[in-house]
Amino acid sequence: MKLFKNDYYANMGLADIRAKVAAGERLSFEDGVRLFNCPEPLAVGALAHQVRTRLHGDKAYYVLNRHVNYTNVCINRCVFCAYQREEGQQGGFVLTVDDVLSKIDAAPVTPREVHIVGGCHPKLALAYFEDVLNAVKTRLPGVVLKCFTAVEIAHFARLENLSTREVLSRLQKAGLDMLPGGGAEIFAPKIREQLCPRKSTADEWLAIHEEAHELGIKTNCTMLFGHIEAIEDRVDHLVRLRESQDRGGGYTCFIPLPFLTENSKLKIDRPLTGLEELRTIAVSRLMLDNIPHIKAYWVMLGVKQAQAALKFGADDFDGTVIEEKIGHEAGATSDQGLTRKELTDMIRGCGCTPVERDGFFNEV
């Protein structure tokens, strides 16, 4: 598919990158920076759309899923986070195993994927998480359980005095299928130290994902952008994920997360424009040549921007979600959940073909 003539890319200074993309060649760090600095985001978007179309045609995937946040109590206190509460603070909560099951039972359609994450609670034992996984798997035997970020896995290991591999193995035995992509934020140490000094380092986050891959647990990955990072930090993040994927191959999907500013202690001078969000999604598609899927996470992007993202390199629309707390505490104005009809109408509305998937991205 060719959206623009070659001289258009030449005028944008992207002729060599266009040629690499057409030949399926890997882009360098410098190429990534040039894509961010190109004066025309639409040119970058068109290149990403070519790659997305080569991989997935006009398909846009969605899943019947349910998110459950088991606690907002967290010892990490990341400066950008509007969701975190202290133990005993008003508004803090911890769900029991029965509370989690009630939320699953209340889902209007049976979910194929359940996404369970929470804060790093100072007291919850690993046995609690094993019970949660066992209980949900017993209630919904066919479900894909995508639970606990690498940051939570590192926290459980510290609390229990176990290795992260032992924690992953025990959770896998209890029913864990996948790790979600959260907690990656931005890997560049100088920025990470300012955003989330108590959280796992980039190397720890990557090592836990690679351990999961060795155990046969697929994972997703994310990048939080549009705060205090430079363009070079975004490209560095993408290159580190690409190198990690070269080592193990277990990443299924990348989710670019634009920073939402409301109720956050982190104040920024220049909020992201919609086009810069789309450009970042496009550059992600172009740089991550070894990660099959790019998610337009409608909760954080807003549904209209998520639709546009399907033309800027993204191929997945996430799913029904039903109840979301992390983005909504930070000012997300999207609905709490979407129905299958709303998802498929939105996907069709931007010229794509909706394809229902399971948690592993198998078509159903």
Residues in contact with ligand SF4 by CB under 6 A are 74, 76-78, 81, 83-84, 119-120, 151, 196, 199
The three-point CA angle 69-70-75 to 5° equals: 100
Token pair for residue 104? Answer: 């699953």
Q: How many Å apart are CA 176 and CA 145, to the nearest integer? A: 5
Q: Least CB distance from residue 34 to ligand V47, whole Å? A: 26
Among positions 50, 200, 222, 320, the unique one binding ligand V47 when judged by CB under 6 A? 222
Q: How many Å apart are CA 148 and CA 320, to the nearest integer? A: 19
Residue 214 C-beta-side C-alpha neighbours within 13 Å: 13
Contacts of ligand V47 in 311-350 (CB under 6 A): 326-327, 330
> Which option in ligand V47, ligand SF4, none does residue 330 bind, with CB closer than 5 to 8 A by kind?
ligand V47
Residue 257 touches ligand V47, criterion: CB under 6 A: yes
* Identity of the residue, 54 or 265, whose beta carbon is nearer to ligand SF4 in the bound complex: 265
Residues contacting 169, CB < 8 A, separation 6+: 215
Q: Mark 162-191 with x for binding to ligand V47 (rule: CB under 6 A) and - for no binding.
A: ------------------xxxx-x------
> Which option in ligand SF4, ligand V47, none does residue 320 bind, with CB closer than 5 to 8 A by kind?
none
Q: How far is CA 135 from CA 77, 97, 131, 145, 360, in A?
A: 30, 7, 6, 11, 21
Among positions 46, 68, 81, 287, the unique one binding ligand V47 when judged by CB under 6 A? 81
Q: How many Å apart are CA 172 and CA 165, to the nearest integer? A: 10
* Identity of the residue, 80 or 317, whose beta carbon is nearer to ligand V47 in the bound complex: 80
Q: Least CB distance from residue 17 to ligand V47, whole Å? A: 28
Q: DSSP 3-state assignment of 138?
A: helix
Residue 119 touches ligand V47, criterion: CB under 6 A: no
- How many CB atoms are closer than 10 A to CB 340? 16
**Selection from 29, 27, 63 nearest residue 48 by Cα:** 27
**Selection from 62, 52, 57 nearest residue 344 by Cα:** 62
Q: Least CB distance from residue 339 to ligand SF4, whole Å? A: 28
Q: How many Å apart are CA 67 and CA 145, to the nearest integer? A: 10
Pick the stretch among 7-15, 129-137, 243-251, 252-260 that binds ligand V47 (CB under 6 A).
252-260
Q: How many Å apart are CA 129 and CA 116, to the nearest integer? A: 10
Residue 298 touches ligand V47, criterion: CB under 6 A: no
Q: Least CB distance from residue 308 to ligand SF4, whole Å? A: 26
Q: Least CB distance from residue 195 to ligand SF4, whole Å? A: 9
Helix axes 29-37, 15-23, angle to 10 degrees: 120
* Identity of the residue, 79 or 231, whose beta carbon is nearer to ligand SF4 in the bound complex: 79
Q: Give the interface with ligand V47 as residue ranges (CB under 6 A).
A: 80-82, 180-183, 185, 220, 222, 224, 255, 257, 259-260, 264, 297, 300, 326-327, 330
